[in-house]
Structure 1
Amino acid sequence: MAPAPPATAPAAPGVQLDGLIRRRGERLVLREITLELPAGGTLALLGPNGAGKSTLLRVLAGLLRPSRGRCRVLGHELPRERHAVRGRVGYLAHEPMLYRDLTVRENLVHRARLLRAPIGQVDELLAATGLQRRASFPVAALSRGLTQRTAAAATLLADPELLLLDEPLANLDPVAAEQLGALLDARPFGVARTRVIAGHDPDAALAEADLVLGLKDGAVALLAAPAAITDAEIGALYR
């Protein structure tokens, strides 16, 4: 009889938070957040301005330290094991983190070198984003939509397993928003991605998320699967 194949260990959750607290001085910006998002799932972050959505994304990106509690992404403790997820987490901030005096290509090459990603991915992403004709343009000369597209391309370098997206379609015209949304939904290198998306559109969040986290004054006001959320709960979140 042939030996049984070895058991495969279950995939680590994409995101695990346990009593996460983040302070800014004496102010509590995030208050006792606990949740688990399976690998490959999508978490939507909803809430009014100042609710703590961007702060939570920055904690998940390893840019801010939790003041208390635990934060694990892709099975690794942050910030202690931040090096273990280098290149595996892509963060698209609300304000694109690009060098405005460098060209589109120079920005992508610089990011690829930092992440130790294959430089060949730069040309693939320029093609995927339709930026080949603007590759030699400085970022300062680009429209808001093209700047966001460049930032998205930089975010997708190194095939990240976890995407952190902070209002990625804000301030874009409908055509640019559709193009950028399609790019972020696509998996050009075949990677099954976990996503955490902050935004203000409840309808979009309920349509594409597996789990919705509503924040209000840094606290959890709503945490449920989309099918379990009522219009009244969404309305209360923004009052």
Structure 2
Amino acid sequence: MDPVIRLRSAVALVGRFPVLAGVDLDVSPAEIVLLQGANGAGKTSILRACAGLLRVVAGEACVLGVDLTGDARAVRRRVGLLGHATALYDDLTVVDNVTFAVRASGADRAGVAPALAHLGLTGRLPRTRVAALSAGQRRRVALATLVARDPELWLLDEPHAGLDAEHRDLLDELILAAVGRGRTVVLASHERHRAHALAGRIVTVAGGATAPAVPATPGDAASAGPPVVADPEATSVA
């Protein structure tokens, strides 16, 4: 079976600045892969490249059968990226934000109402402008957008950030349910106990490159320790 993601010596630039400097990564269908590494290691850049938002200028990069070194637009409707920023429109209501994203991706609008209900966005909240929401509510709207679209590939950058304990547990359930439907998930997270418990494989990222992947084991979460913060001088990689 062809991999969902295949990167070989992938290089990406922002301007003339290298943010990926030789990434090798294979991700199989219905797999959960955790990207781990210090702040600034390149995890976000890998996710953005796989979403077709950061151009790969050298090496091999193929996502869902699309060559990202060419025109990456063909992959964007099939991929969902939940980043640090929620990418919502403040002047639109909750339901309009989710509906717009679903229509733009060509997904079925029938998934909007169930997604909102699943994330607890009920009552007056669907008709509330996003500008009036708390940070946690915004995060739930962004998650509802992802759930409503249900893309083939879920790319999650610190997905538990801004969520309370109840919704962190719910997010874990949503991730496992997506994989049960045949979706593929790649996430970067400092919530190490949660992320290690979810992932079937761990890939370490440093300096914009990847180390060989290792299987996740139950002992990984127990021994993970606190997050590692990058050297302040080593901020050259996004």
In which range does the TM-score fall when normalised by the shorter chain? Answer: 0.7 to 0.9
Following superposition, the deviation at residue 229 of structure 1 comes to: 8.9
Alignment of 1:19-34 (within 5 A): 19-34=9-24
Cα separation, 1, equivalents of 2:15 and 2:109:
41
Which of 175, 178, 181 is the aligned partner of 1:191?
181
> What is the SS of the residue equivalent to 1:39?
coil
Structure 2: 5+ residue runs without aligned partners? 231-238
Change in CA separation of 1:202 and 1:179 when aligned onto 2, cut-off 3 Å: closer
Following superposition, the deviation at residue 123 of structure 1 comes to: 1.3
Alignment of 1:88-167 (within 5 A): 88-133=78-123, 134-167=125-158
Q: CA RMSD in A?
A: 2.7
Following superposition, the deviation at residue 196 of structure 1 comes to: 0.4
Following superposition, the deviation at residue 175 of structure 1 comes to: 2.6
> What is the SS of the residue equivalent to 2:181?
coil
Residues 30-80 of structure 1, C-alpha deviations (whole Å, 9 max, x = no match) = 121112111111110111111111111110000110121121112221153
Letter in 2 for 1:215: V
Computing the radius of gyration from Cα coordinates, the structure with the larger value is: 1
Equivalent residues of 1:46, 1:53 under 8 A apart: yes
Aligned length: 226
Equivalent residues of 1:205, 1:212 under 8 A apart: no
Cα separation, 2, equivalents of 1:215 and 1:16:
16
Residues 147-168 of structure 1, C-alpha deviations (whole Å, 9 max, x = no match) = 1111011123332111000001
Change in CA separation of 1:228 and 1:21 when aligned onto 2, cut-off 3 Å: farther
Equivalent residues of 2:58, 2:69 under 8 A apart: no
Letter in 2 for 1:159: D
Cα separation, 2, equivalents of 1:194 and 1:201:
19
Change in CA separation of 1:196 and 1:202 when aligned onto 2, cut-off 3 Å: same
Letter in 2 for 1:194: T
Q: Which residue of 1 aligns with 2:233?
A: none
When normalised by structure 1's length, the TM-score is 0.83
Equivalent residues of 2:8, 2:60 under 8 A apart: yes
Q: Which residue of 2 aligns with 1:6?
A: none
Following superposition, the deviation at residue 202 of structure 1 comes to: 3.2
When normalised by structure 2's length, the TM-score is 0.84
